[in-house]
Structures are given as structure tokens and as C-alpha cells.
């Protein structure tokens, strides 16, 4: 197996957000280890991403076996299940991953993620909504 580079990134959860994130990182020349518990999701992305594995990311032992403890960065892109997202961040914290990014779907979810050790909390829907609002307004100004 190749040695883990400091630019390598773990992406957990290949929903719409996680799959686009993983694809973008790969195009930016980062090695991505993508993890999803759904065999269908793993199958769906295995042609486009170099390393896609099926595992339940709430299981610290499963992540350890995949070598996740050697990575400098991991992103938890699970959204719908607060429990799965929180337990996954906890597992990454226990493994000592130095930079944990996690997706929140509410302010309370964000607080829990931070309290179990997430270093960066992101709100993709809220951030995209805000960005598009600014984009629309700037385009409107172009026509004045």
C-alpha cells in the first residue's frame, strides 16, 4: 500500500454533497479515500474515484483498519443522520485525526459536532443559499 501523504483526504458519506466534494478534491490532485456504508453508493462512485470503500464510519475499528488514523484531514459529509454524523466525528477524534471537518444541518447539530471534536463545521445548504443570493443581486446590479 502507498504511504499516506499529508495532502490525502478522507471523505465520509457520498450523498450529493460528499460525492461532489470528493470529485472536486480528486480533480485538484488530492488523493481521496471515500467511505460510505451503502454498497450501492460505493458501486456508483467507484469508477470516478480512486479509492472508494464500504464501511460504517461510526465504527472506530473499521476506520482504523482502513488506515484513517494516518490521514491529516477528514470530512464528514453525512447530513440526514445526526447520530451517524456525531458518532463518526467522535470516532475520528478517538483516532486522533488532526483536522476534522463536519457538515451540520442545524445550529444544534453544529454545537454537538464541535463538542465531540470537529475542528471545522460547515453548512453547505446555508452557505450555498447565501452565495447564490449575492450572485443574483450582483447580476441584477449589472443590468442597472
Q: Which residues in this chain contact ligand ATP in the complex, by CB under 6 A?
A: 12-18, 35-38, 41, 56-58, 78-81, 84
The least CB distance from residue 131 to ligand ATP, in Å, is 17
- Nearer of residues 53 and 137 to ligand ATP, judged by Cβ: 53
- Nearer of residues 10 and 138 to ligand ATP, judged by Cβ: 10
The least CB distance from residue 129 to ligand ATP, in Å, is 14
User: How many Å apart are CA 19 and CA 12, to the nearest integer?
Assistant: 9
Q: Residue with the closest Cβ to ligand ATP?
A: 15
- Nearer of residues 101 and 139 to ligand ATP, judged by Cβ: 101
- Nearer of residues 57 and 89 to ligand ATP, judged by Cβ: 57
The least CB distance from residue 18 to ligand ATP, in Å, is 6
User: How many Å apart are CA 59 and CA 64, to the nearest integer?
Assistant: 9
Amino acid at each position: 500500500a502507498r504511504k499516506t501523504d499529508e495532502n490525502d483526504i478522507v471523505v465520509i458519506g457520498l450523498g450529493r454533497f460528499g460525492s461532489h466534494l470528493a470529485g472536486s478534491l480528486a480533480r485538484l490532485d488530492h488523493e481521496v479515500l471515500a467511505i460510505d456504508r451503502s454498497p450501492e453508493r460505493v458501486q456508483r462512485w467507484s469508477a470516478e474515484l480512486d479509492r472508494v470503500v464500504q464501511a460504517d464510519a461510526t465504527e472506530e475499528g473499521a476506520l482504523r483498519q482502513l488506515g484513517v488514523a494516518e490521514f491529516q484531514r477528514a470530512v464528514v459529509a453525512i447530513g440526514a443522520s445526526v447520530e451517524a454524523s456525531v458518532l463518526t466525528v467522535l470516532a475520528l477524534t478517538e483516532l486522533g485525526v488532526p483536522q476534522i471537518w463536519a457538515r451540520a444541518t442545524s445550529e444544534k447539530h453544529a454545537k454537538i459536532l464541535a463538542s465531540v471534536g470537529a475542528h471545522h463545521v460547515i453548512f453547505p445548504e446555508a452557505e450555498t443559499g447565501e452565495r447564490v443570493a449575492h450572485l443574483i443581486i450582483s447580476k441584477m446590479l449589472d443590468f442597472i
